[in-house]
Amino acid sequence: MTNSLGLIAMALASESRAALLVVAAATLWGTNGTAQALGPAGASPIAVGATRTVVGTVVLVIIAASRGRLWAGARHLQRRPIVLAALAISSYQLCFFGGVRLAGVAIGTVVGVGSGPLWGGLVGWFGRGERPTPRWGIATALALLGATLLATTTTNGGRVNPVGIALAVGAGASYALFTFWSKTLTDHHDPDLVMTWAFLLSAILMLPLGLAAGLGPMWSGVGVAMALWLGVMSLAVAYLLFGRGIKVVAVATATTLSLADPLTASVLGVVVLHEDLTRSHLAGMALVLAGMGALTLSVPPILRRS
Average pLDDT of the segment spanning 5-19 = 57
Q: pLDDT band for position 106 (50/70/90)?
A: low
Mean pLDDT (whole number) for 145-168? 66
pLDDT, residue 1, reads 42
Handedness of CA 152, 156, 159, 163 (dihedral sign): negative
Q: How confident is the model at residue 54 (pLDDT cuts 50, 70, 90)?
A: very high
The pLDDT score that the predictor gives to residue 263 is: 79
Is 154's pLDDT higher than 80? Answer: no
pTM over 0.85: no
Q: What are the angstrom distances between the C-alpha of 40 and each of 51, 215, 254?
A: 13, 11, 32
Q: How many CB atoms lie within 10 A of CB 282?
A: 13
Residues 202-223: tens digit of each pLDDT? 999 988 988 888 888 888 889 8
Q: What is the pLDDT of residue 267?
A: 80
Enumerate residues 6+ apart whose C-beta is below 8 A from 201.
82, 83, 86
List the chain domain ranges: 2-305
Task: Give me the pLDDT at residue 96, please.
Answer: 84
Residue 251 has pLDDT above 60, yes or no: yes
147 vs 139, residue with greater confidence = 139
Q: Return the pLDDT at 158.
A: 52
Write the single-letter amino acid at 183. Answer: K
